[in-house]
Amino acid sequence: MATSKHKVVSQKEWLAARKALLAKEKKFTHLREQLAQQRRQLPWVKVEKEYVFDGPKGRETLSDLFDGKSQLVVYHFMFGPGWEEGCSHCSFWGDHYDGMGVHLNQRDVSFVVVSRAPLAEILPFKKRMGWNFKWVSSFPNDFNYDFHASFRPEEIEFVVDTARSMEEVLTRDIKKVPALRGKTVVNLFFEASTRTRTSFEMAGKRLSADVVNFSSATSSITKGETLLDTARNIEAMKPNILVVRHPASGAPHFLSRHLSCSIVNAGDGANEHPSQGLLDLYTILKAKGKVAGLKVAIVGDILHSRVVRSDLHSLGRMGAKMWLCGPATLLPREMARTGATLTSDIREAVRGADVIIMLRIQLERQKTAYFPSLREYSRRYGLNRTVFSLAKDDAVIMHPGPINRGVELSDDLADCGQSLILDQVASGVAVRMALLYLLAGGSHAAH
Ligand code: CP
């Protein structure tokens, strides 16, 4: 924390502020205890599948992990296949497990740490950290997926496969199928968009849905109507899908709790942009044939980027080695928890990269000065020919758009043969057709 501008007050004022904070801390502790109680009261599920883990003693079943005790505590340590090190938050707790085990054992409780990484990757990291607790790999089984600790790559692959079928439709003379005839898609956009809004509109039309575009600037929002009231009024007209973009993180999730139609997040604040994450994955798969093992460097305003957060899910989940690069002020340290490598040196990020995703500086979301000037930012974090020459010879350049030419990306690189920027836009239609189809479509939608 910067201390130079910190407020200095009298002892009396400090005590009053401390007491006010203490009251909040007590409330928080109370809420946490309530939550812990609710966790203990969660219903149980009978485990009938046999899960076999790779552990220090070889193959061990879930029953073996109880180690003769009546209860087993399983900690999911975020450490996926191919990661060089585990999540830093989990590692903080890892530093305390060796002391805790003995107390749990006294209470007839066994304790085990589980990760998706293969045991051969877990053991060197465990040794490096000097830990002794029991750590097993769920790599050979479905334990993480069945208990909702990890997304299944198959779920992402299913969307990608559907997008491939949709792309075939887009190659036909008549680029239209009747899959969503009679369905209505409403694009509810509370923030500017060129690509996403047009792409969802085109996707809906290609599937024969009725598509209605809503713009907040010409709506009753300008007269003071709330987001929920606006959305409820639109839902009263019986759409099947609302595609929502909003400057507030969580707005689509909020609406999904109140409305019964399907909601698609088309970008919410600095939180997520899931369809962009999927189209980035799709574009890379088309260009490179695979994602697993590729070095993907994302450079720019990481802090405010919803694209990064979704790319970490889509590309990271499919096994890419993710590198995030930007000025230290725009590079949240906790993002290392996802397994991504963080650096403020663009050369380190780009060196040997297969894919470079450049991001725009999001001045509209920045509440303070994160760097001295755009000129300096461009000099240190802009991609130009010299920096790009450090990447693999066949490296590709991507950008979710809109581009600020000459700031994050030089003009010639934006339009060069290795730029996939317009391919991303083209992929967007196929991917969004897949999403709309799977949400409101035909026989496959039940999956
Ligand atoms: N990539 C992206 O979300 O672009 P738009 O803001 O133009 O939709």
273-286 pLDDT per residue, tens:
999 999 999 999 99
Q: Please indicate whether residue 401, judged by its CB atom, sits closer than 6 Å to ligand 1.
A: yes
State yes or no: pLDDT of 444 exceeds 90: no
Q: How far apart are CA 397 and CA 387, in angstroms?
A: 12
Confidence of residue 2 (pLDDT cuts 50, 70, 90): low
Closest approach atom of ligand 1 to CA 266:
3
Q: How far apart are CA 339 and CA 139, in angstroms?
A: 17
Q: How far apart are CA 365 and CA 380, in angstroms?
A: 21
Q: Categorise residue 419: left if φ over 0, alpha if ψ from -120 to 50, beta otherwise.
A: beta
Look at residue 181 and give its three-state secondary structure. coil
Q: Are 398 and 355 in contact (CB under 8 A)?
A: yes
Residue % of the chain over a pLDDT of 90:
77
CA 343 / ligand 1 centre spacing (Å): 26
Could you identify the residue written with the tokens 């930007």?
326
Structure confidence by residue, pLDDT tens digits, 424-435: 999 999 999 999
Q: Please indicate whether residue 233, judged by its CB atom, sits closer than 6 Å to ligand 1.
A: no
Residue type present at position 372: P
Q: Please indicate whether residue 400, judged by its CB atom, sits closer than 6 Å to ligand 1.
A: yes
Q: How far apart are CA 147 and CA 62, in angstroms?
A: 13
Q: Which residue has the higher pLDDT, 83 or 418?
A: 418
Domains (range + CATH), the chain: 52-146 (3.40.30.10), 153-269+428-444 (3.40.50.1370), 276-416 (3.40.50.1370)
The residue to mutate among 195, 202, 244, 431, having the most atoms of ligand 1 within 8 angstroms of its beta carbon, is 195
Structure confidence by residue, pLDDT tens digits, 99-135: 998 899 999 999 999 998 889 989 999 999 999 999 9
Q: How far apart are CA 326 and CA 301, in angstroms?
A: 6
Enclosing H/E stretch for 211: strand 210-215
Q: Please indicate whether residue 247, judged by its CB atom, sits closer than 6 Å to ligand 1.
A: no
Q: How far apart are CA 241 and CA 67, in angstroms?
A: 50
Residue type present at position 324: L
Confidence of residue 88 (pLDDT cuts 50, 70, 90): confident
Q: How far apart are CA 171 and CA 163, in angstroms?
A: 13
pLDDT at 140: 81
State yes or no: pLDDT of 367 exceeds 80: no
pLDDT at 445: 42
What's the whole-number average pLDDT of the chain?
92
55: which residues sit within 8 A by CB, 6+ positions away?
64, 65, 119, 134, 135, 136, 137
Q: How far apart are CA 191 and CA 267, in angstroms?
A: 9
pLDDT at 133: 96
Look at residue 408 and give its three-state secondary structure. coil
Q: Whose CA is nearest to atom 1 of ligand 1?
A: 400
CB 427: neighbour CB atoms within 10 A?
A: 24
Residue % of the chain over a pLDDT of 70:
96
Q: C-alpha angle with apex 340: 338 to 345, nearest 5 degrees?
A: 145
Closest approach atom of ligand 1 to CA 424:
1
The length of the chain in residues reads 447
Q: Please indicate whether residue 220, judged by its CB atom, sits closer than 6 Å to ligand 1.
A: no
Average pLDDT of 308-334?
A: 93
Going by their DSSP bridges, the two strands 58-61 and 52-55 should be labelled as: antiparallel
Percent helix, strand, coil in the chain, to 5, is: 45, 15, 35
Average pLDDT of 374-384?
A: 95
Q: How far apart are CA 60 and CA 52, in angstroms?
A: 5
DSSP bridge partners of 188: 214, 244
CA 401 / ligand 1 centre spacing (Å): 6
Q: Please indicate whether residue 196, judged by its CB atom, sits closer than 6 Å to ligand 1.
A: yes
Confidence of residue 447 (pLDDT cuts 50, 70, 90): very low
Structure confidence by residue, pLDDT tens digits, 247-300: 998 899 889 888 999 999 999 999 899 999 999 999 999 999 999 999 999 999
CA 312 / ligand 1 centre spacing (Å): 18
Q: Please indicate whether residue 101, judged by its CB atom, sits closer than 6 Å to ligand 1.
A: no
Q: Are 323 and 341 in contact (CB under 8 A)?
A: yes
Q: How far apart are CA 374 and CA 335, in angstroms?
A: 24
Q: Whose CA is nearest to atom 6 of ligand 1?
A: 193
CA 259 / ligand 1 centre spacing (Å): 25
Structure confidence by residue, pLDDT tens digits, 28-57: 999 999 999 999 999 999 999 999 999 988
φ and ψ of 219, to 5 deg: -110, 180
Confidence of residue 154 (pLDDT cuts 50, 70, 90): confident
pLDDT at 446: 35
Which of 290, 295, 315, 333 is CA-nearest to residue 400? 315
State yes or no: pLDDT of 366 exceeds 80: no
Look at residue 32 and give its three-state secondary structure. helix
Q: Is the dihedral of CA 184, 185, 189, 195 positive or negative?
A: negative
Structure confidence by residue, pLDDT tens digits, 126-153: 999 999 999 999 988 889 888 888 777 8
Q: C-alpha angle with apex 152: 137 to 84, nearest 5 degrees?
A: 45
Q: Are 151 and 313 in contact (CB under 8 A)?
A: yes
Which of 427, 28, 446, 373 is CA-nearest to residue 195? 427
Cβ-defined contacts of 148-156 (< 8 Å, 24+): 149/76, 149/114, 150/80, 150/116, 151/313, 151/317, 153/317, 153/318, 153/319, 156/278, 156/281, 156/314, 156/317, 156/318
Look at residue 227 and give its three-state secondary structure. helix
CA 49 / ligand 1 centre spacing (Å): 44
- The distance from CA 150 to its chain's CA centroid, rounded to whole angstroms, is 12
| Counts of helices then strands in the chain (DSSP H, E) | 17, 14
Q: How far apart are CA 274 and CA 431, in angstroms?
A: 11
State yes or no: pLDDT of 361 exceeds 80: yes
- pTM metric for this prediction: 0.73
Show the tokens assigned to 369.
Answer: 């000065």
Closest approach atom of ligand 1 to CA 199:
8
Confidence of residue 442 (pLDDT cuts 50, 70, 90): low
Confidence of residue 82 (pLDDT cuts 50, 70, 90): low
Q: Are 117 and 137 in contact (CB under 8 A)?
A: yes
Q: Are 378 and 406 in contact (CB under 8 A)?
A: yes
Q: Please indicate whether residue 288, judged by its CB atom, sits closer than 6 Å to ligand 1.
A: no
Could you identify the residue written with the tokens 């200095």?
8
